[in-house]
Structure 1
Amino acid sequence: MGGSSNSNVPLEEDLVYDVELLPHDPGKRINIMDYPANERNAVRRGYILKKTLPTKRLIDLHLQELDERLNERNMELLLCMACLSPKDNFSSFDKDKVLKLASFYPEEFSSFDLMALEYQLDVFMENMLNDERFQGLNDLNSLSMMLVKTNKHKTFPLIHLLIKLMLILPVATASVERVFSAMTCVKNKLRNSMGDQLMNDCLVTFIEKDVFLRVSDEKIIDRFQSMKTRRMNL
């Protein structure tokens, strides 16, 4: 019965707001950015389907959302990341910005590490510009692989660590976005009172469903049976 009741709950991508209920005057309508984050896409779809949102206004809303996502600190982070790019023979290199980038990771770079990194950067750049193997690289990924291939990741461990942190940053950000997106499907109105542990378990199985689909029902039953003594076998 529980499964049949959940099947009637619309997913986020199926949810469309009835914009006919909104005030006729666009100036009196609630700003899309004032809606809960997990409802904004549904509001936009409602506007687009009814063709009540001018193209210029739609572009302004997207730009506004980009401004919220890419705030001043995030933009500074991206600019600092670009300063270590090997493209055009490290033409964008900026030592001060690279050091500032490292300061964003206090758990990985202590004050002593920052001083050591400053020294490493001087030697690193001279080494890179004089080594033909590092000529023609275009991105941080190829730079990281070449450092490992030439064994120079051991010579410049702090720089290699910083490059690795930059490479995993998009993945870490996307993972967080993925979890919040999944949460709108898992924690619906019928499951609004679930505890943290149950929600974590549901999120893991929902996000990694491709992995769990490969687990046989027999193994799941055996695992559940062995968790504690039961009156009968499942």
Structure 2
Amino acid sequence: MPDMNAPYTSTRYRPRKKDLHVTYEHYYRVDLFTSTLDKQLEELNSRFNEHSMELLSLSCSLVAKEINVDQICLLVEKYYPEDFTEQEIIQLRYQLELFNVERTKNTILSGISTISELCKSLVETQKRETYYLVDRVVRLILTLPVSTATTERGFSAMKIFKNRLRNKMSDDYLANSLVVYIEKEISETFDSEAIIDDFKDLKGRRAVL
């Protein structure tokens, strides 16, 4: 292990005069660490957009020690307008305030740290029906990883189907092909003969299928 207080000398290029004042500790803690951190932040920013970050913050808010009721209601109203009516959002605010108080008294609910544990705890403590709107928010958040994975699989499959030789494929045909390819486990259970019979019964045909 090098002496961290010794001057750092690069093996790639001839050191300049100002580089003689740079120690190994400064190089590893500042130069190397900062550049690595910048690359990771750049990758995270490119992978998670503002929409995803706000939904992740919603997930974290529900398992925080003290729930931010206003923030959760604003995000629910913004991203789930079709799942909650205006009256339900008002009721959600009251349920979150009551749930915030009850968490401090319930040992099971106070020990949760993830959104999946919160979903299980609501069922185990039989609070799912009492806080049914909170449970709905939790279940909507839990579908995010599934929807994200499905989207990524869809783009990967599209690269296989719609290539340079098949770039004139119609949207309907492409969508149907992607569904069959992505949901392989379901499509493998289909009976080919039954599909042929259904296709045959659609209309009369001259040739026998």
Question: TM-score, normalized by length of structure 1?
Answer: 0.65
Deviation at 1:110, TM superposition (A): 3.2
Give the Cα–Cα distance (whole angstroms) in 1 for the partners of residues 36 and 163 of structure 2. 28
Count of residue pairs the alignment pairs up: 175
Structure 1 pair 177–131 and aligned structure 2 pair: CA distance change class (3 A):
same
Contact 2:67 2:96 in 1 (8 A): no
- Cα RMSD, aligned residues only: 2.6
Aligned counterparts of 1:170 and 1:150: Cα–Cα separation in 2: 25
**Paired residues for 1:6-21 under 5 Å:** none
Superposed CA offset, 1:188-227 (max 9, x none) = 1222112222111111111122322333432333233223
**What is the alpha-carbon distance in structure 1 between the residues aligned to residue 93 and residue 193 of structure 2?**
57
The structure with higher relative contact order (CA 8 Å, sep 6+) is 1
Does the CA-based 8 Å contact 1:129-1:135 persist in structure 2? yes
Task: Using structure 2 for the length normalisation, give the TM-score.
Answer: 0.72
Q: Which residue of 2 aligns with 1:170?
A: 145
Q: 1:129 aligns with which of 104, 109, 113?
A: 104
Identity %: 37
- Which of 184, 188, 193 is residue 213 of structure 1 equivalent to? 188
Select which of 67, 78, 96 maps to 2:45.
67
Shift of 1:71: 2.7
The CA distance in 1 between the partners of 2:55 and 2:41, in whole Å, is: 19
Which of residues 140, 156, 180 is equivalent to 2:115?
A: 140
Deviations 1:129-187 (A, max 9, x none): 21233243232212212212333221112111111111111111221222122111111
In structure 2, the CA distance between the partners of 1:193 and 1:111, relative to structure 1 (3 Å rule), is same
Q: Which residue of 2 aligns with 1:28?
A: none
CA distance in 2, matches of 1:73, 1:209: 30
Match of 2:175 in 1: 200
Counterparts of 1:33-72 in structure 2, within 5 Å, are 63-72=41-50
Q: Which protein is bigger by CA-based radius of gyration?
A: 2
- The equivalent of 1:182 in structure 2 is 157
The one-letter amino acid of 2:48's match is: L
Q: 2:57 is matched with which residue?
A: 79
| Contact kept? 1:182, 1:203, Cα under 8 Å | yes
Distance 1:151 1:59 in 2: 44
Mind listing any 5+ residue stretches in structure 2 that lack a counterpart?
A: 1-33
1:159 pairs with 2:134 = yes
What displacement does 1:61 show?
Answer: 6.8
Change (3 A) 1:151 1:69: same
